[in-house]
């Protein structure tokens, strides 16, 4: 890897108390790279609550945030680098990708003792940029800020948004757009594709070094295991099964589930052409680059399994020296993923329809509701939210039915559901409260995101962006003053495609 020298500033080191570990790995893991200067940076948003959680000096960041988060000012203690990784993109393997427009400033240990990455996205070219400019446009920066913070509030493991700045200079895509930089916080940025990078080079020692680092950082409980690398594979698989189940339960579509977009930590990462389902359909696709629906809503669990199989291939030399035994052990993990996903998904769907105990026919009950929602063109979020008000015959059935094209078709399912509730141990009010804790009233609806982006890009107006962040911070509360944000889009407001920010 080639490296670019850089100089740190004399900024008070307490602003960001870096404690870098990835930078101490062997040089083939990354390229040292300073951010590129921005012409006239302006701080749009600082996530003060997250900064406090990370143990950062909020007052210093308010003063210097535009310079730090644009890349103009590299704080003392930072060790900027671009990470190396490979990946399967829409099923096609690319042996070298890497951070083409992202620079890891360094790591901090937060107030809970957890190590977190602080990364700039859109801070200029790196040795992995290929023909890209390494910059980001304002729209994708705002989208990632909104959706990542919404996912956090919804209780989904995710990378977080620390800051967003404008750069004062344009970026050139199909149009000329205002440039911006997004500051992302993650448990780490290690991906399935990071392992693939070393496997593609036959670097078994690199794979072992990476796996040991991952165990130390993310899965320290595995260090005493008799088979730590197989245990690591199981642990990563379990986290992904649980994560993708949560995506489906809130109607989230990632959009680009390439192996370089799947973290080893189990966090959601890279909110490019992501979107939330409005009218429910299992085959929903928004991403403009997903021409064949590879990453459609209902395909996500199988793609997760496919990606994990690619991870397993890289770990085979570590799992067992005997290839046949290694393959057999890895295949068992892949098979178990399907069962674990089904367990997490069904458990969550039971909670969404108000069930605390389990019965054999619950899967069929859930699938019957989803079929009615698809046939009835129901809004995914509203249908589940309103279901909590219909637990007794006649209770707010009109509100629930309003989500469906043919309300009369619901009666047989509602009768069956209430009969099932009669065998559930929860009291009605307890069940209703429990359902409202898992069925959000507010999601980052695609048309609302686009409205916020349009106002910011065209008019330098961030009021819709700020309002959306306030609403989405409390997704499970009613917030009557923000009731319009619960509504699905009107026909003219519908977002049919979402786009990557590259």
- The residues carrying an active-site annotation are 260
Give Cα separations from 281 to 278, 292, 299, 380 (angstroms): 9, 16, 12, 9
Do residues 330 and 316 lie in contact, with contact meaning Cβ atoms separated by under 8 Å? Answer: yes
Pairwise CA distance, residues 194 & 203, whole Å: 12
Q: Among 125, 154, 158, which Cα is nearest to 31's?
A: 125
Residue 88's DSSP bridge partners are: 93
Q: Output the six-digit token pair for 388.
A: 């909590």
Q: Token match 């589930």: residue?
A: 257
Question: Which residues does 481 contact at the CB level (< 8 Å), separation at least 6?
Answer: none
Pairwise CA distance, residues 470 & 468, whole Å: 5
What three-state secondary structure class fits 342?
Answer: helix
**What stretches of 320-445 show up as alpha helix (H) in DSSP?**
323-352, 362-375, 380-387, 397-401, 411-421, 428-436
Pairwise CA distance, residues 122 & 166, whole Å: 10
Q: Token match 């890009």: residue?
A: 457
What three-state secondary structure class fits 277?
Answer: coil
Q: Token match 């519908």: residue?
A: 494
Pairwise CA distance, residues 366 & 486, whole Å: 23
């Amino acid at each position: 890897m080639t490296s670019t020298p850089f100089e740190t500033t004399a900024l008070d080191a307490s602003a960001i108390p870096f404690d870098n570990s990835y930078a101490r790995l062997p040089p083939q893991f990354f390229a040292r790279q300073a951010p590129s200067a921005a012409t006239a940076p302006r701080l749009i948003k600082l996530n003060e609550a997250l900064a406090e959680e990370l143990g950062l000096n909020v007052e210093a960041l308010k003063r210097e945030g535009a310079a730090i988060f644009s890349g103009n000012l590299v704080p003392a203690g930072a060790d900027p680098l671009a990470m190396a990784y490979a990946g399967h993109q829409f099923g096609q393997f690319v042996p070298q990708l890497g951070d083409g427009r992202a620079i890891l400033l360094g790591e901090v240990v937060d107030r809970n003792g957890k190590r977190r990455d602080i990364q700039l996205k859109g801070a200029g070219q790196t040795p992995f940029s290929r023909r890209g400019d390494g910059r980001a446009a304002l729209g994708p920066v705002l989208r990632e800020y909104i959706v990542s913070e919404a996912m956090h509030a919804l209780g989904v493991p995710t990378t977080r948004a620390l800051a967003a700045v404008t750069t004062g200079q344009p970026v050139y895509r199909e149009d000329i757009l205002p440039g911006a930089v997004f500051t992302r916080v993650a448990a780490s940025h290690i991906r399935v594709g990071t392992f693939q990078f070393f496997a593609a080079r036959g670097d078994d020692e690199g794979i072992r070094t990476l796996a040991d680092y991952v165990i130390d950082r993310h899965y320290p409980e595995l260090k005493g295991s008799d088979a730590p690398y197989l245990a690591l594979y199981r642990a990563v698989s379990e986290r992904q099964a649980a994560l993708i189940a949560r995506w489906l339960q809130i109607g989230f579509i990632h959009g680009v589930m390439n192996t370089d977009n799947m973290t080893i930590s189990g966090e959601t990462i890279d909110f490019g052409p992501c979107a939330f389902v409005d009218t429910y359909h299992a085959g929903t696709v928004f991403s403009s680059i997903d021409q064949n629906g590879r990453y459609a809503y209902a395909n996500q669990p199988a793609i997760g399994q496919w990606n994990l199989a690619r991870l397993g291939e890289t770990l085979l030399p570590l799992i067992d020296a005997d290839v046949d035994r290694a393959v057999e052990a890895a295949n068992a993990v892949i098979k178990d993923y399907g069962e674990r996903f089904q367990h997490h998904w069904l458990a969550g769907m039971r909670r969404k329809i108000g069930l605390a105990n389990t019965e054999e026919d619950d899967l069929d009950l859930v699938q019957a509701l989803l079929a009615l929602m698809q046939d009835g063109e129901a809004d995914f979020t509203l249908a589940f939210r309103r279901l909590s008000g219909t637990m007794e015959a006649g209770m707010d059935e009109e509100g629930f039915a309003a989500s469906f094209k043919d309300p009369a078709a619901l009666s047989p399912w509602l009768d069956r559901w209430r009969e099932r509730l009669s065998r559930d141990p929860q009291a009605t009010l307890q069940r209703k409260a429990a359902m409202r804790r898992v069925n959000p009233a507010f999601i980052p609806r695609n048309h609302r995101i686009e409205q916020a982006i349009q106002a910011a890009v065209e008019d330098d107006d961030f009021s819709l962006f700020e309002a959306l962040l306030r609403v989405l911070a409390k997704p499970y509360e009613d917030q009557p003053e923000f009731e319009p944000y619960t509504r699905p889009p009107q026909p003219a407001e519908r977002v049919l495609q979402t786009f990557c920010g590259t």
